Amino acid sequence: MTSLVDNITTTQAMAPKREFSQLETPQKNKVTGAAEFCKAMGIKYTKTALARHFKVSRKQVDYALNSQDLRTGRCSESKKDNPRKLTERDLDHVELFLVENGREGHELTWDELAAQFEYGVTGETLRLNMAPRRVFTFIAAEKPQIDERLAKLRVEWATHMLQRYPEPEDWHHVRWTDEVYFGWGPQGKIHVIRHRGRDWQGHPDCVHRKETKDRNNDDDNKRIHFWAAVGYNFKSPLIRYEVPTNNNGKMSHRVYIDSILEPIVSQWCKEDGQWAMEEDGDSGHGKGLKSNPVSQWKEAHGISNNPSSCFRSFFNCSQSPDFAPIEDTWSYPKGFVRRRPHWTDPLVEELAREAWDQIPQDWINELVDTMPQRLRDCISSGGQMVVPRRCK
């Protein structure tokens, strides 16, 4: 005859084991209390944020909040409000809502998005059903505001360059140059719900506009500065440079000549074929009076802004990093370094060089081929910042 103890033991053995440990009562109360406070004050929050703040797992947060609902006599929302499955037509309406409501629609949370439709489902259910359609939550891209004066200048520049170089292959001789620094520090990010893909990554409805920039962050005082160039079937080494007169990487004429032009660009002049070097309008690059040392160096080496010249140099439109494919290539080494522990200059430099070497040339070539489309997008948007897209 089976005893009561045997039955309990058998039941325990058959019960599915949890993949996580339950929270202790004091910690569980903290989690549920924080959630209740946010709801009462109308503050947006996510379970992931609660898990990160209290240093617990997402499953532990789910279990704690579900336990609180049962204890207070409230049915779990996922059981009470999900009487049916969402149809494809329902999901079509949600997808259309995101497209037609611009930034205000994309910045809703999943719960707020679900509340826009009386489907009787939770935000989590809606999120899971939209995943096959490649609609997820992402950190919003950040781009600066473009004032009317700069927008007009960008349109004029884009129109001029598009008339001169209308096809992707017209840009294959250009080598875009740029400086970058590697540093670290906490930054607040905005999350948006959008389709996966580069077309939506920088879409105006999915972009967070930064009005100001905090320049008082002590973490930014320690920076390592590099220079590089990319082009079609071309990628230079990552060149580290230092400016003795400052610690913000502001390029001087002498440093530009000694660290970049003499050891790197002078070798380009010995190559066969034509090329054009694109630079931003930094004063250290020689923009302005022709009497400055950089302009004199370029003239001595046969580098001019004459379209018929074998070796050319031209300056990008002011405050227009979206017109330079090299700005897009920095995203990979920046993310590579940021995701790995780094405490010393040598380690940061090693990680940066490793990431730079891993950037595939095919990807750079694709970025170069987007130049005509970038210019068209700038003109059609009235001078606003654009993202790389393949030519139509």
Task: Pinpoint the alpha helices (H) of 233-290.
Answer: 253-255, 266-268
Residue 59 lies in a domain: yes
For residues 29 and 264, what is the distance between their CA atoms, to the nearest angstrom?
Answer: 62
In a structure prediction context, what are the per-residue pLDDT tens digits for the chain, which is 392 residues long?
Answer: 444 344 434 434 443 444 456 778 788 888 888 888 888 777 888 888 888 888 888 888 888 887 766 555 554 444 444 456 889 999 998 888 888 877 777 888 888 888 888 788 888 899 999 999 888 887 776 666 678 889 999 999 999 999 999 999 999 999 999 998 886 544 345 567 777 776 777 777 777 655 444 444 444 456 788 999 999 999 999 999 888 776 666 778 888 999 999 999 999 988 878 899 999 888 788 776 677 888 889 988 888 877 777 788 888 998 888 999 999 999 888 888 877 766 778 888 888 999 999 999 999 999 999 999 999 999 998 998 888 876 65
One domain for residues 249 and 323:
yes
Q: In this structure, is residue 166 part of a structural domain?
A: yes
Report yes or no: 357 and 297 within 8 Å, Cβ to Cβ.
no
pLDDT of residue 304: 82
CA distance 316 to 353: 26
Domain membership flag for residue 98: yes
Q: Are residues 167 and 204 in the same domain?
A: yes
CATH of the domain at 149: 3.30.420.10
CA distances from 371 to 158, 206, 324, 368 (A): 10, 22, 8, 6
Q: Which domain holds residue 54?
A: 18-74
For residues 51 and 125, membership in a common domain is answered with no
Q: Strand 275-279 and strand 174-182: pairing?
A: parallel
Count of domains for the chain: 3
Residues 152 and 269 in one domain: yes
Query: How far from chain centre, in Å, is Cα 75?
Result: 40
- In the three-class reduction of DSSP (H, G, I as helix; E, B as strand; rest coil), residue 324 is classed as coil
Do residues 190 and 226 both lie within one domain?
yes
Clarify whether residues 195 and 305 are in a common domain: yes
- Whether 24 is covered by a domain: the verdict is yes
DSSP 152-179: HHHHHHHHHHHHH--SGGGGTTEEEEEE
321 CB burial (10 A radius; 0-12, 13-18, 19+): middle
Closest CA to 329 of 236, 247, 241: 236
Nearest to 359 by CA among 180, 229, 183: 229
- Residue 54's domain is classified under what CATH number? 1.10.10
Residues 150 and 251 in one domain: yes
Does 126 lie in the same domain as 51?
A: no
**Residue 389 in domain:** no
Cα separation, 108 vs 103, in Å, equals 9
Cα 39 to chain centroid, rounded = 30
Say if strands 234-235 and 191-195 run parallel, antiparallel, or are unpaired: unpaired
Q: Is residue 12 part of a domain?
A: no
Q: Are residues 128 and 149 in the same domain?
A: no
